Amino acid sequence: MQGPEIRCDALAKCFGDVAAVDPFDVSFAAGQTTALVGPSGCGKSTVLRMVAGLEAPSGGAVHLGAETPAQAAARGALAMAFQDPSLLPWRTVRANIALGAELARKPAAQVDHLIDLVGLAGFGDHRPAELSGGMRQRTAIARSLISEPEVLLLDEPFGAVDAMTRRRLNFELPPLWRDRGATVLLVTHSVEEAVQLSDRVLVLSPRPARVVADIAIDLDRADTDSAAFRALCREVYAALEGGT
């Protein structure tokens, strides 16, 4: 399976008189993970929601290969994990994760494996009210992965988990989408996370977002203490400071 190229052609979004994104001309390579970093309110999540088909553009268009976001979502090829886990309160952890496969009309064959992988072993029959905020977020991440999507959109997916769990998930989850060739867009405020998880980092300016740096990431993802890793982080920080 190979995820499609994502193209944003003159993409724009206005909320009243406020231009959140205008215009945004960027292509995201098929099968790569690209991180979007930038100041709060610059339009990162708005771009992600337009790629997901959850926000209608004010101008321009998004293409996932030859499809629109709606067409890709209709055949279960697209999944998204939000900052808010948005779990169904009457469903257990296991049933909430399986929902991702049900909506994509695919078999939910890896639920228990994903429960173990995100550190929720023993909580499969618990409901969201019985979980901590971090555990609810881990459930939402597993739900986004269960359908093995071709396009995976992650909006601050690890923001609500504790530091140790976040570090472990940063190592253990990416192979799930990378080995399947998914095209991944990641919004994060963590520069280190962007460099560790991505093949490419786009640094955005304040609203309306424009690309101020396009940084290729080519390093051993497991070696976050290397001089090369630190140098790339410094490059991203410098671009953020210059862009603001």
The pairing of strands 59-64 and 18-28 is unpaired
pLDDT score of 168: 75
Tokens of 89: 């309160």
Query: Kind of pairing, strands 151-155 and 78-81?
Result: parallel
Q: Where are the domains positioned within the chain?
A: 1-64+183-244
Q: Tell which residue, 108, 82, 86, 89, has the closest CA to residue 97.
A: 108
CA 150 to chain centroid, in Å, comes to 12
> Which distant-in-sequence residues (6+ apart) come within 8 Å of 98 by Cβ?
108, 111, 146
| CATH hierarchy code of domain 1-64+183-244 | 3.40.50.300
pLDDT of 226:
87
Q: Could you give the angle at the alpha carbon of 114 between the alpha carbons of 199 and 191, nearest 5°? A: 30
Task: Give the contacts of 174 (CB within 8 A, at least 6 positions apart).
Answer: 33, 197, 221
- In this prediction, residues 103-122 reach a mean pLDDT of 85
Query: Whole-angstrom Cα distance, residue 128 to residue 90?
Result: 8
Residue 106 has pLDDT above 70, yes or no: yes
pLDDT digits (tens, 9 = 90+) for 68-97: 999 999 888 999 888 788 899 999 999 999
Q: What is the pLDDT of residue 232?
A: 93
Per-residue confidence (pLDDT) for residue 219, from 0 to 100: 81
What is the residue-averaged pLDDT of the chain? Answer: 88
Report pLDDT digits (tens) over 169-205.
Answer: 777 777 777 777 899 999 998 899 899 889 999 999 8
